[in-house]
Amino acid sequence: MPAVLFHSPNDSPTEWEKKLREFMPNLDMRIWPDIGDPNDIEFALVWKLPSGNYEKFKNLRCICSLGQGVDHIFTDADLPNQVHIMRLVDPWMAQAMSEWILLQVLRFHRQVPEYEDLEKQLKWKVLPPPETSECAVGILGLGELGRDAARKISALGFKVAGWSRTEKEVQGVECFYGEKQLEAFLNRTKILCCLLPLTPKTTGIINSKTISQLPRGSYVVNAGRGQHVVDTCLLRALDTGHLAGAALDVFNEEPLPSQHPYWAHPKVSVWPHVSAQSNADSAAGQVADAIGKVFSGKVPDNLVSREQQY
Ligand code: NDP
Ligand code: OXD
């Protein structure tokens, strides 16, 4: 039987191996860097395999991301041409992400930072009640995660819009698409939530120009990738008051360096990339299915486009 390569700095190989074996008792899993003969490897289940290593696996047929994002695969300049590239598409992760996005939306909408501040000052003060039906939430990205979050936020009565590359229809959600409609989408958005994949086209999309197109007093929530945000622009907008707050789960450098201004910024909430973690319990079945398909010469599900890089 061909072998599966496993590499991840975050995920437990023993847990994944145990779960995968429930579906494939004869699985031969090689845990990086103890890979044995590299010619045995036909399937790679990876998160951030150090660049330049795929070339070693002459019989590799599929690279599967150990997450929903695949940017960590496309950063490798020596990516082999013929292999399939796929990812997890896990409803458990969509639920986790929607919970996290909802948490941030409700936190800003229900003035949690303001009330926490008043509590610290022992001040009993009532702020004007917020109006949910007037609160415009905008989701960048209407894919597996963005659509789920948009629907769940809309179900609570918020005014929800989404922005994608191609035209979409999502019930209860105003849909914008393409670069031409980005400004209109931003102009109507008070809480901007980024659930885009990181690609050459989306890198730095939250910058001084796009932030200036949000109304004064808006919020930025980012669970896409740190590289979607130009940090200096976000910090400037927070300091000038154009933005009222930010909740960030992903960063240009992870772990976020201890001297980074985000840590101590009173308007920034820092999370250690945990909004939707990969989960062997929920995702091993789909990975086992993909391994089985690849080993029997079939095409696995959840492929990503090399051209679009997502
Ligand atoms: P999908 O591929 O399902 O959806 C991506 C969405 O982004 C699509 O709607 C797509 O548009 C849109 N998009 C892509 N490029 C552009 C562009 N240039 N302009 C406008 N819209 C664009 O991805 P997922 O929803 O599964 O995941 C999104 C990202 O979330 C991941 O790539 C990852 O970076 C991040 N993530 C973060 C996690 C965390 O814990 N922080 C956990 C999991 C994922 P269209 O529909 O038209 O193709
Ligand atoms: C992912 C992530 O892409 O956890 O799945 O960031």
Residue 53 lies in a domain: yes
Residue 310 lies in a domain: no
* In a shared domain, residues 134 and 249: yes
Mean of pLDDT values over 245-262: 98
* In a shared domain, residues 79 and 175: no
pLDDT-derived band at 259 (thresholds 50, 70, 90) equals very high
What is residue 118's predicted lDDT score, i.e. its pLDDT? Answer: 98
Q: How far apart are CA 233 and CA 167, in angstroms?
A: 29
pLDDT-derived band at 266 (thresholds 50, 70, 90) equals very high
Give the global pTM: 0.98
Q: 63-94, pLDDT tens digit by residue?
A: 999 999 999 999 999 899 999 999 999 999 99
**The pLDDT of residue 262 is above 90:** yes
* In a shared domain, residues 23 and 74: yes
- List residues near ligand 2 (CB under 6 A): 67-69, 276, 278
* In a shared domain, residues 162 and 19: no
Domain count for the chain, please give it.
Answer: 2
| 147 to 87, 164, 191, 282, 284: CA distances (angstroms) | 18, 10, 16, 20, 23
* In a shared domain, residues 190 and 134: yes
Instruction: Return the exposure string of 160-171: e unless at least 16 CB atoms fall within 10 Å of the residue's CB, then b.
Output: bbbbbbeebebe
How many whole angstroms from 223 Cα to the centroid of ligand 2?
Answer: 9
* In a shared domain, residues 117 and 262: yes
* In a shared domain, residues 139 and 187: yes
Nearest CA to ligand 2 atom 1: 67
* In a shared domain, residues 73 and 124: no
Residue 186 lies in a domain: yes
What is residue 116's predicted lDDT score, i.e. its pLDDT? Answer: 98
Q: 164-177, pLDDT tens digit by residue?
A: 999 999 999 999 99
**The pLDDT of residue 1 is above 90:** no
Directed axis angle between helix 280-295 and helix 13-23, to 10°? Answer: 60
Q: Which ligand lies nearest the alpha carbon of 99? A: 1
Q: Which residue matches tokens 């999370």?
A: 271
In one-letter notation, the amino acid at residue 110 is: R
* In a shared domain, residues 105 and 50: no
Taking all residues of the chain, what is their mean pLDDT, rounded to a whole number? 98
CATH number, residue 86: 3.40.50.720
Residue 300 lies in a domain: no
Q: Which domain does 227 fall in, by range?
A: 93-270
Q: 95-118, pLDDT tens digit by residue?
A: 999 999 999 999 999 999 999 999
Q: How far apart are CA 263 and CA 166, in angstroms?
A: 36
Residue 308 lies in a domain: no
* In a shared domain, residues 34 and 69: yes
Q: 206-227, pLDDT tens digit by residue?
A: 999 999 999 999 999 999 999 9
What is residue 52's predicted lDDT score, i.e. its pLDDT? Answer: 95
Active site residues: 225, 273
Residue 218 lies in a domain: yes
Residue 196 lies in a domain: yes
Query: Partners of 303 in the beta sheet?
Result: 86
* In a shared domain, residues 65 and 113: no
Residue 220 lies in a domain: yes
Among 8, 47, 93, which residue has the most ligand 2 atoms within 8 Å of its CB, making it the best to mutate?
93
How many whole angstroms from 278 Cα to the centroid of ligand 2?
Answer: 7
* In a shared domain, residues 51 and 138: no
How many whole angstroms from 151 Cα to the centroid of ligand 1?
Answer: 16
- Give the chain's end-to-end CA distance (angstroms, integer): 30
Query: Partners of 3 in the beta sheet?
Result: 41
Nearest CA to ligand 2 atom 5: 67
Mean of pLDDT values over 246-268: 98
| 250 to 26, 256, 272, 290, 301: CA distances (angstroms) | 37, 9, 7, 28, 27
